[in-house]
A and B are shown apart, each in its own frame.
Chain A
Amino acid sequence: MAVYELTYKQFLGKLTPEWNRFMVIPRHAFRDVFKSKLFTAFFVFCFIPLLVETILIYLHHNVNALAILQVNVRELLPIDASFFMTFTSIQNGFAFFVTLLVGPPLVARDVRNNALPLYLCRPFSRAEYVLGKMAVLLILLSAMTWVPQLLLFAFQSYLQGASWFANNLSIAGAIFISSVVWIILLALLSLAISALVKWRVIASAALLGLFFIPSVFGEVVNQLFRTRWGSLVSINANMRNITLGLFGQFQQATTFVTDFDGEVATRIALHEPPLLVSWTVLFLISVICLALLSMKVKAYEVVR
């Protein structure tokens, strides 16, 4: 079918392997995503905390630099689990905003333009379609969360020595697991909303609402009933507990209230829900998202 021949010709060349064909979707999607200068600027901005983190790690191990800056090493944040958890949480926060910008149109645009039959009439399954769309977010968010964090962990290990690396290997695991759980959750939620809502703005608002409205509701329940179990409806609170747990910082009694019985004041400790419950909630949310995607990502919907 050469341009000058203008005849119909079959393709007789070698086809790409099926297992990685879903990667065609992110490859084309990134071109659209980074076409927006505003988004590119924001994405670059998301790396500023990582730069600060790098500088802090570097300063810890550079006596000359500390002397020039006239800073005592004790005045700097200690490089430990808490240090990495703080920066992982900051990056995870940025990941949410990147998802808010990139996620909602991913499926919505295809649904609105009836593009799903075009994908699914090829040797390309619904699972591969969802995987391809998820890969857009997973790659983008990984590049700003666990990948640089692990590189910084390796940097710190290099400067501090092999024994620090061996003693703090669990931090690397915590960085990886907490970030991956968070970005998978973000990807699934945004794709599910994107498949349900055809319009980008409404999908973004729905995603935003899904994270903040239940958090507020949960906090109201906590205050009214003097409990911490209200946090179970909040995705943020569950994720925070899981992150604390992974970094070994989780404490069940974190909040204390003062109860007055006549004139006697009693301090009551409120207990966070167990970590297993938080894991279960996030797992259930993921299952619901997958079920929604399975329902909505179809070539044609049958009107019964």
Chain B
Amino acid sequence: MAVATTPQEQARLKDPANFAPVIDLNDLSVTFGGRPILQNLRGELRGRAIGLLGPNGAGKTTLIHTLLGFHEPSSGTAHIFGRDITTDAKQIRSLIGYMPERDSFIAKMSAVRFVRLMAELSGLPSEAALERAHEALFYVGLGEARYRSLDTYSLGMKQLAKLAQAIVHGPRLIFLDEPTNGLDPPARQRMIKLVREIRDSGKANIVLSSHLLRDVEECCEEILILKEGRLAVYCNLEEERKSNRKFLLLETRGDQDKFVESVEKLGCEYAVTGDHRIKIVLQGGVDVRDLYRVASEHGLQIRRLSYKRDSLEDIFLKAMENGHGGL
């Protein structure tokens, strides 16, 4: 049990908002010019690191912008730490750090001045802002370059400077919109390491929006897959990993339909993935020999059989093929 040692911590423990979900979507819809961009998003997210996945144009950035209060929901609402995004936008923004996808800077400024200004705008007193600007820049690895003008930074350095301004005021929730965009492999590794470090510190929750599955898989515990503005899949990666659920991947020749019907009668889940491939999750009491028996009954050849585990890529592809899901 957590013991409050400072008055701030005591106040934090008393605040019911601290036990509310990180993000609570209540039928959130956003429309631009009559065109629905987000449609009836619903669900509670409580993970330390939440991945937001989806193809380009799925509505990931719009969802982040709406949660930040940049766009008005056309219907429904959302809550961040129990606060309503439509009525408590300013309060919410004081708890949030945001790293935008596009290049966003204030021209002709050194990194330290830029990050300090951002800290002051978040409400930090001038001296504390300067101190934390130095610390944030050292933390992201720009300590030596902190007096250089942002205009002279490389793309990777600019991404890190954007991360520094997002964390300088120590927010409780950090939105990272495509943080590894345009980074080379070492810079990407560095960014992922920083995101994981922040997550593991337990002092901030992270929402990571990306179309790169690997980034999300490496950092996130929960994922939300959007497709055409709708919630396609919610998945708790941590639980998936813990359950260690394996499936069999069969490569076959012959009449699949009768075979899968029989497999279903055995109580097994299956999915036909095309190209003569079938995924089967075996249930208790059923083993591989039963599958060979059923196959032989229906004259189906099993050319190959292997054990696999659902990867994020499988989940994502399934979400893109199937319709819409929910929490």
Contact = CB atoms under 8 A, between A and B. Distances in A.
A and B associate: yes
A15 B107 contact: no
A21 B126 CA distance: 11
A162 interface: no
Interface in A127-145: none
Nearest to B124: A11
Contacts of A16: 120, 123-125
Contact of A119 (B107, B121, B136): B121
Interface of A: 1-3, 6-16, 18, 21, 24, 28, 32, 109-110, 112-115, 117-125, 298-300, 302, 304
A123 B68 CA distance: 10
Interface in B71-108: 71, 90-91, 93-94, 96, 98, 100, 102-108
Contact of A114 (B91, B104, B132, B172): B104
B90 A125 contact: yes
Contacts, number: 132
B198 A304 contact: no
A304 B33 contact: yes
B32 A304 contact: yes
* Pairs A-B, 7 closest by C-beta atoms: A304-B33, A15-B123, A10-B170, A121-B98, A11-B170, A123-B94, A299-B70
Given A10-B172, A12-B8, A32 B108 contact: yes
B100 A117 contact: yes
B121 A1 contact: no
A3 B134 contact: yes
Contact of A117 (B98, B117, B136): B98
Interface residues of B, number: 51
A18 B201 CA distance: 29
25 contacts: A1-B170, A8-B167, A8-B198, A11-B170, A12-B6, A15-B124, A15-B125, A16-B124, A28-B120, A113-B103, A113-B106, A113-B107, A114-B105, A117-B70, A118-B98, A118-B104, A121-B68, A121-B93, A122-B118, A122-B121, A122-B123, A123-B123, A125-B90, A298-B70, A304-B32
A275 B268 CA distance: 88
A127 to B, nearest CB: 11
Contacts of B93: 121-124
B27 interface: no
Contacts of A12: 6, 8, 170
A4 to B, nearest CB: 9
B230 interface: no
Interface of B: 6, 8, 32-33, 35, 65, 68, 70-71, 90-91, 93-94, 96, 98, 100, 102-108, 113, 117-118, 120-125, 128, 132, 134-136, 138-139, 143, 165, 167, 169-172, 197-198, 201, 203-204
A18 B123 CA distance: 7
B68 A299 contact: yes
Contacts of A110: 106
Contacts of B102: 114
Contacts of A24: 117, 120-121
B128 A13 contact: yes
B105 to A, nearest CB: 5
Contacts of A118: 98, 100, 104-106, 118, 165
Given A7-B201, A125-B90, A304-B32, A28 B138 contact: no
A110 B105 CA distance: 8
B107 A112 contact: yes
B272 to A, nearest CB: 40
Contacts of A28: 113, 117, 120
A134 B49 CA distance: 40
Contact of B135 (A1, A124, A302): A1
Contact of A3 (B6, B96, B128, B143): B143
Interface centre among B102, B104, B170 (most CB of A within 10 A): B104
B219 to A, nearest CB: 14
